[in-house]
Amino acid sequence: MKSQSLLLASSSPYRKELLQRLGLPFISASPDIDESTQPGETAEELAVRLAEQKARALTSDYPGHWIIGSDQVACLPDGSILNKPGNHEEAVRQLTRCSGQRVTFLTGLALIDTDTGATLTHCERFQVQFRHLETTEIEHYLHREQPYDCAGSFKMEGLGIALFESLEGRDPNSLVGLPLIALTDMLRAWGLNPLLL
């Protein structure tokens, strides 16, 4: 089995916690990128581009590493993109729009070998059916968890699960921000098997 230094291109405590589940040693660093949508870009293209951009932003500083980048975009049925709300008022608007809707979460994933430039990318799709939410439920939830740094205005690993009627997808970890099944596929493709450590 190949031994490789891993770097998670993220400051997110949620992504760090997920990656720790694989039992692989890694370090993390926060990339500084512009997360604006480009004209004509689909939600899936945006998620993958941002994931790759995050990983690529750190390549020159970390030779000899495989860099993992991930980014998530949430979409309403009408194609509207939900970004990180940033504040309470925007989070109320987002959850009000999500109420009773089937929302698609697209999590882009990139793995870059800084020595060879080899790159793998993937987009994990996951769908969430939101309950019909009362304004009081939304307000109570937001005051309790304050998920203002999370796409879609919720924390799936906390009370956010109570916002949903159902989940559909192959990897619920992608909702938290890092699709571990797809990442394991990528690592195995390059000779790093977490099951053989």
Mention the CATH class of domain 5-196.
alpha beta
Q: Evaluate if residue 46 carries a pLDDT over 90.
A: yes
149 is annotated as an active-site residue:
no
Are the C-beta atoms of residues 73 and 47 closer than 8 Å to each other? yes
Selected catalytic residue, list 32, 34, 61, 71: 71
Q: Over the stretch 32-41, which tens digit does the pLDDT of each residue have?
A: 898 888 888 9
Which SS3 state, helix, strand or coil, does residue 40 take?
A: coil
For tokens 């020159």, name the residue.
60
Q: Over the stretch 128-187, which tens digit does the pLDDT of each residue have?
A: 999 999 999 999 999 999 999 888 899 888 899 999 999 999 999 998 899 999 999 999
Pairing state of beta strands 65-75 and 102-113? antiparallel
**CB environment 144-166: b (16+ within 10 A), e (fewer):** ebebeebbbbbbbbeebeebbee
Residue 1: pLDDT band with limits 50, 70, 90: very low
The residues, ordered by sequence, that sit 6+ positions from 26 with a Cβ below 8 Å of its Cβ are 5, 6, 7, 8, 19, 68
For tokens 């937001």, name the residue.
142
Tell me what pLDDT residue 3 has: 56
Q: Over the stretch 60-112, which tens digit does the pLDDT of each residue have?
A: 999 999 999 999 999 999 988 988 899 999 999 999 999 999 999 999 999 99
Exposed, middle or buried, 33 (CB in 10 Å: 0-12/13-18/19+)? middle
Are the C-beta atoms of residues 112 and 119 closer than 8 Å to each other? yes
Q: Where are the domains of the chain?
A: 5-196
Give 108's strand partners.
71, 123
Tell me what pLDDT residue 92 has: 97
